[in-house]
Amino acid sequence: MAKKIINEPSRTLMEYRLLPGLTTAENSPAEISLRTPLVYTPQQDKKFFLNIPLVSAAMQSVSSDRMGIELAKLGGVAFIYSSQSIEAQIGMIEKIKQHKAGFVNPKAVKPEMTIQDMYLIRHETGHSTFPVVDDTGIFLGLISKWDYDISLHGSFMVKDRMIPKKNIEVGVKITDLKEANRILLESHKSILPILDETGKLLHIVFRKDINDQLNNPLEVHDEKKRLLAVASINTHDYKERVSALATAEVDVLSIDSSDGFTEYQKETIEWIRKNYPQIPVIGGNIITQDGFRYLVEAGAGAVKVGMGGGSICITQEQKGTGRGLATTVIDVVGARDKYFTETGKYIPVVADGGVTSTKDITIALALGADYVMMGRYFARMEESPTEKIVVNNRVMKPYWGEGSARARDWKNKRYNQSKFVEGVEGLVEYAGHLRDNLDETLAKIKSSMSTCGAKNLEEFHEKAVLELVSALSIREGKAHDIYQSTETNENSEDMKNDN
Ligand code: IMP
């Protein structure tokens, strides 16, 4: 006989709806804050917050440095995947930590390169302006598409056509974007190379980027004003990986596992708490109150919850383990609130896997989750690391699970441990730039919060009233019994392309 049999079915986020509370001017959408804690830290002076309750999943097809930079600028954070070599992961974390809004590091070319060769780089990178540097990195000039005609100058050298340094306004060791902007305006130039005191190129500032960059009020930073970076780790090579990540000044670590209720995870968390007490660690995934206690008592500062619900996940089918995400959140949030009452430590709960539309995010937050992790949503964005492909006239991007054969390939070589897969590989419809998609997603979340009378997520947790809905009522909630134009139909297919 099993230890316990629960005969109530577990519930998904799709099965709940919110009932309205009183909306006032104070909680109109424009007044709503989505700020939320990322991870608990005992140090009062070191608190980590997100300005939007969304993070991208630690997956090869989702979270590389490009996503990390863009999402941190917009208030969230990407969990940089660990299913890659330590060196490659460090490279990504360094790019995020070294990124200075508006200060870019475009590929530099050498003066003796032919224009023809540089033209190939132009097509590979999509950049049309290149700094020219010597072998030691000393800045010599700039070359842009206006400086040559490929049919006339293909065999010329870059140095024959570049604008030499003496004719260019440069900045020395400037780190403030407003100052760079001032110099650009006064010099009537559109590009400002920033050099160190020896003349080596550090960055370039493009006037066209500045307004965009000054316009990221939700950006999340460390205490040195650098973007926040979160790295995923595993329970195998963690000692080596965490020490390299600590050197790269990662802010937060997160253990990536489909089942976090394990001794390996406890050992990993305890080792990090002992050796790197300044770096908080997020544990998971767990789906029970016991799992929550176990990880938090080991020292986890936040927990990811969810098993079997991910869009690319076949864990339930393969192993028979898993739980609906709504029931998981309700259960674990209960344990979290109890733990808070006992200890005064507030441990954020992260709802992870299986979000199919914005209303799922909203329901997860209403049920008490502090933020939501998503893979599919972010895989569709321009900023995910995959290439776009066209299938049947639709622009798609590949998306694959971390437990799929494709992602596990690197591990097989290293650990030779995968006897079966827990994830699949597929395509998702390209959705454009993250910034535009988030605009709509966040507007919907705020609008629901406003309807429920909450001006921030803390209030949302306290005030939300949810109700289970029947299958018929879900059907009733969609457009029905009318003929719709194709365009409206496409917009209403939220599983496919919802924000
Ligand atoms: P999605 O947002 O529904 O696409 O789910 C993403 C989540 O699925 C990730 O954050 C992981 O928790 C989980 N996941 C990622 N890869 C796999 C896999 O291969 N098998 C099962 N779950 C996975």
For a substitution probing ligand 1, which of 77, 312, 317 has the most ligand atoms within 8 Å of its CB? 312
User: Which among 356, 380, 370 is positioned nearest to 474, based on CA atoms?
Assistant: 356
Judge if the upstream peptide bond of residue 491 is cis by omega within 30 degrees of 0: no
Cα-to-centroid distance, 313 and ligand 1 (Å)? 6
Average pLDDT over residues 350-358: 95
Which phi-psi region, left, alpha or beta, contains residue 24 (left: φ > 0; alpha: ψ -120 to 50)?
Answer: beta
> Is 342 a domain residue?
yes
| Bridge partners for 193 per DSSP | 204
> Is 150 a domain residue?
yes
User: What band does 495 get if pLDDT is binned at 50, 70 and 90?
Assistant: very low
- The reported pTM is 0.83
- Residue type for 34, please? L
For a substitution probing ligand 1, which of 258, 371, 408 has the most ligand atoms within 8 Å of its CB? 258
- Residue type for 299, please? G
Asked if 203 and 244 sit in the same domain, the reply is no
The total domain count for the chain is: 2
| Closest approach atom of ligand 1 to CA 407 | 19
What's the confidence (pLDDT) of residue 251?
A: 97
Domain of 466: which CATH number? 3.20.20.70
User: What are the CB-based long-range contacts (under 8 Å, 24+) for 490-497?
Assistant: 494/356, 494/357, 494/358, 495/356, 495/357, 496/429, 497/380, 497/429, 497/431
Q: Are 63 and 56 contacting, i.e. CB atoms less than 8 angstroms apart?
A: yes
Average pLDDT over residues 461-474: 93
Cα-to-centroid distance, 94 and ligand 1 (Å)? 25
**Interval 16-59: pLDDT, tens:** 999 999 999 888 888 999 999 999 998 877 789 999 999 999 99
| Closest approach atom of ligand 1 to CA 58 | 10
Asked if 159 and 287 sit in the same domain, the reply is no
Q: Which domain holds residue 182?
A: 105-210
> Is 6 a domain residue?
no
Q: Are 388 and 396 contacting, i.e. CB atoms less than 8 angstroms apart?
A: yes
Asked if 441 and 487 sit in the same domain, the reply is yes
Cβ of 360 less than 6 Å from ligand 1: no
> Is 5 a domain residue?
no
Cβ of 422 less than 6 Å from ligand 1: yes
Asked if 159 and 32 sit in the same domain, the reply is no
Asked if 249 and 394 sit in the same domain, the reply is yes
CA distance 386 to 404: 16
Separation of first and last alpha carbons in the chain: 45
| Closest approach atom of ligand 1 to CA 378 | 2
Asked if 369 and 484 sit in the same domain, the reply is yes
Asked if 116 and 167 sit in the same domain, the reply is yes
Cα-to-centroid distance, 307 and ligand 1 (Å)? 8
Question: Between residues 316 and 16, which one has the greater pLDDT?
Answer: 16
Beta carbons within 8 Å of 201's beta carbon, 6+ residues apart:
108, 131, 133, 137, 138, 139, 193, 194, 195
Q: Which of 313, 323, 376, 380 is catalytic?
A: 313
Question: Between residues 415 and 470, which one has the greater pLDDT?
Answer: 470
Cβ of 70 less than 6 Å from ligand 1: no
Asked if 94 and 109 sit in the same domain, the reply is no
For a substitution probing ligand 1, which of 402, 408, 411, 496 has the most ligand atoms within 8 Å of its CB? 402
Strands 252-255 vs 281-286: parallel, antiparallel or unpaired: parallel
Average per-residue pLDDT in the chain? 91
Residue ending a domain, among 210, 243, 259, is 210
Asked if 90 and 120 sit in the same domain, the reply is no
> Is 407 a domain residue?
yes
Cβ of 354 less than 6 Å from ligand 1: yes
**Sheet strands (E) in 122-164:** 129-133, 139-144, 163-164
Q: 3-state SS of 206-261?
A: EHHHHHHHHCCCCCCECCCCCECCEEEECCCCHHHHHHHHHHCCCCEEEECCCCCC
Cβ of 384 less than 6 Å from ligand 1: no
- 302 in helix, strand or coil? strand
> Is 345 a domain residue?
yes
Cβ of 258 less than 6 Å from ligand 1: yes
> Is 7 a domain residue?
no
Cα-to-centroid distance, 492 and ligand 1 (Å)? 24
- 163 in helix, strand or coil? strand
Residue ending a domain, among 181, 210, 239, is 210
Which phi-psi region, left, alpha or beta, contains residue 139 (left: φ > 0; alpha: ψ -120 to 50)?
Answer: beta
User: What band does 415 get if pLDDT is binned at 50, 70 and 90?
Assistant: very low
To the query of whether residue 313 is one of the catalytic residues in this protein, the response is yes
Cα-to-centroid distance, 1 and ligand 1 (Å)? 32
Cβ of 374 less than 6 Å from ligand 1: yes
What's the confidence (pLDDT) of residue 499?
A: 47
Cβ of 82 less than 6 Å from ligand 1: no
To the query of whether residue 452 is one of the catalytic residues in this protein, the response is no
Cβ of 453 less than 6 Å from ligand 1: no
Asked if 240 and 368 sit in the same domain, the reply is yes
Residue ending a domain, among 182, 210, 238, is 210
Cβ of 39 less than 6 Å from ligand 1: no
Cβ of 355 less than 6 Å from ligand 1: yes
> Is 4 a domain residue?
no
CA distance 148 to 403: 49
Whether 492 shows a pLDDT value over 60: the answer reads no
Asked if 176 and 277 sit in the same domain, the reply is no
| The pair of three-digit structure tokens given for residue 91, joined into one six-digit string | 């490279």
CA distance 135 to 24: 63
Domain of 157: which CATH number? 3.10.580.10
Cα-to-centroid distance, 77 and ligand 1 (Å)? 17
For a substitution probing ligand 1, which of 61, 77, 313, 404 has the most ligand atoms within 8 Å of its CB? 313
Whether 331 shows a pLDDT value over 60: the answer reads yes
Helices 358-366/325-343 angle, 10° precision: 30
**Interval 282-310: pLDDT, tens:** 999 999 999 999 999 999 999 999 999 99
User: What band does 416 get if pLDDT is binned at 50, 70 and 90?
Assistant: very low
Annotate 246-301 with DSSP letters as a single string.
HHTT-SEEEE--S---SHHHHHHHHHHHHH-TTS-EEEEEE-SHHHHHHHHHHT-S
Helices 86-98/65-73 angle, 10° precision: 30
- Helix/strand/coil percentages in the chain, nearest 5: 40, 20, 40
Indicate the DSSP class of residue 178: H
Asked if 241 and 203 sit in the same domain, the reply is no
